[in-house]
């Protein structure tokens, strides 16, 4: 009995020792290598990438005559993008105004004063609103048009050129006025009206071309202007050509174009008077608001 117990104790002890040895060998096999002993991939003399440059990406390249050994080489990525600068906001940044000074005698309403401050600070819409004061305060209107033009508003440039040519709110300066008008028309065909209006007598051929451009972009008043230049014999053209321009303006809803087309028809400028054509053109003129045409239909 005693020998049996001793044998059991010895067997258990050996089992414990064997288990401990087995666990220790397993831990050694699964442990990672010492990172401190691993060689560095980057040369200590290579400068670190700057903040605005992309890091080089590694790739594999095969040498031609070295037994096919594969080497790791470094190739740069795409060029870094150019720095992006935010576009200036004309409605937020102040812009210097080379505008006609307001006389001390000019009294502004609180609303006009506020609009002027905002216009001079670079808000285009407020400059445009000042131009609407052409009759009540032409000096203020001219100042708003000048500043709006400085800010790149084409419609304001057209008005400012008109003011300069006619001396509205500013001293007359025809040379500068027509320069501004020509640029406004060249930049936007919809803004050729004042170039035609102010240049019809001085530069009729140029005015006619400007009117044609405006009519082509569906500006009804500029279709009428083209017709007027032909009908009044300021440029070469036939009555039929003048009527064609008036027809275009009338089709776009311009009352005066419809009225002029009717007038030419009734006066026989387009040939023999045809009652059916006259009636049809009276109806169109009446529909656009020509009261005389409406009265003739009663």
Q: How sure is the predictor about 106, in pLDDT bands with cuts at 50, 70 and 90? A: confident
What pLDDT, in 10s, does the model give residues 156-166? 999 999 999 99
Q: What is the mean pLDDT of residues 71-98?
A: 36
Q: Contact at 8 Å (CB) between 99 and 146?
A: yes
Task: Report the distance separating Cα 193 and Cα 209, nearest Å.
Answer: 11
Q: Contact at 8 Å (CB) between 158 and 142?
A: no
Beta bridge partners of 71: 61
Q: How sure is the predictor about 14, in pLDDT bands with cuts at 50, 70 and 90? A: low
Q: Which helix (H) or strand (E) holds 38?
A: none
- Give the angle 167-170-175 at the CA atoms, nearest 5°: 60
Sign of CA dihedral 200, 203, 208, 210: negative
Task: Report the distance separating Cα 248 and Cα 215, nearest Å.
Answer: 8
| Chain centroid, CA 153 distance in Å | 11
Task: Report the distance separating Cα 100 and Cα 142, nearest Å.
Answer: 7
Q: What is the mean pLDDT of residues 129-143?
A: 90
Question: What's the pTM value of the predicted model, to 2 decimals?
Answer: 0.65
Backbone angles phi and psi of 135, in degrees to 5: -85, -45
Task: Report the distance separating Cα 190 and Cα 185, nearest Å.
Answer: 7
User: Which pair of tokens denotes residue 244?
Assistant: 């064609």
Residue of 150, 142, 141 lying closest to 96 (CA atoms): 150
Buried b (16+ CB within 10 A) or exposed e, 66-102: eeeeeeeeeeeeeeeeeeeeeeeebeeeebebebbeb
Query: For the chain, what percent of residues have pLDDT higher than 70?
Result: 65
Backbone angles phi and psi of 154, in degrees to 5: -65, -40
What pLDDT, in 10s, does the model give residues 58-70? 333 333 333 333 3
- By the 10 Å C-beta count (0-12 exposed, 13-18 middle, 19+ buried), 206 is classed as middle
Mean pLDDT comparison of 82-86, 96-100, 225-229, highest-scoring range: 225-229
Q: What is the mean pLDDT of the chain?
A: 76
CATH number of 92-184: 1.25.40.10
- By the 10 Å C-beta count (0-12 exposed, 13-18 middle, 19+ buried), 44 is classed as exposed
Q: Which residues contact 216 (CB under 8 A, 6 or more apart)?
A: 189
pLDDT at res. 256: 95
Look at 32-41, 117-126, 188-197 and tell me which has the smallest mean pLDDT.
32-41
Q: Please provide the size of the chain in residues.
A: 298
Q: What are the extents of the domains in the chain?
A: 92-184
């Amino acid at each position: 009995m005693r020998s049996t117990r001793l044998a059991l104790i010895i067997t258990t002890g050996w089992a414990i020792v064997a288990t401990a040895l087995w666990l220790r060998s397993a831990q050694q096999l699964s442990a990672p290598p010492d990172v401190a002993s691993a060689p560095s991939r980057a040369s200590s003399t290579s400068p670190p990438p700057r903040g605005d440059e992309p890091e080089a990406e590694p790739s594999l390249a095969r040498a031609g005559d070295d037994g096919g050994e594969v080497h790791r080489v470094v190739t740069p990525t795409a060029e870094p993008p150019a720095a992006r600068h935010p576009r200036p906001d004309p409605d937020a940044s102040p812009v210097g105004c080379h505008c006609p000074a307001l006389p001390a005698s000019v009294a502004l309403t609180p609303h006009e004063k506020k609009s002027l401050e905002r216009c001079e600070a670079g808000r285009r819409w407020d400059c445009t609103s000042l131009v609407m004061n052409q009759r009540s305060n032409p000096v203020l209107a001219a100042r708003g048009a000048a500043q709006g033009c400085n800010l790149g508003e084409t419609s304001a440039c057209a008005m400012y050129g008109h003011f300069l040519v006619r001396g509205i709110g500013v001293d007359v300066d025809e040379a500068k006025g027509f320069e501004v008008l020509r640029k406004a028309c060249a930049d936007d065909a919809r803004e050729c009206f004042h170039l035609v209006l102010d240049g019809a007598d001085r530069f009729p051929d140029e005015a006619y071309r400007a009117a044609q451009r405006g009519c082509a972009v569906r500006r009804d008043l500029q279709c009428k202007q083209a017709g007027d230049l032909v009908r009044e014999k300021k440029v070469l053209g036939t009555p039929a050509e003048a009527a064609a321009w008036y027809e275009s303006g009338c089709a776009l809803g311009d009352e005066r174009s419809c009225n002029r087309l009717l007038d030419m028809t009734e006066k026989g400028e387009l040939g023999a008077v045809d009652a059916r054509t006259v009636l049809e053109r009276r109806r169109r003129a009446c529909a656009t608001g020509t009261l005389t045409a409406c009265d003739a239909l009663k």
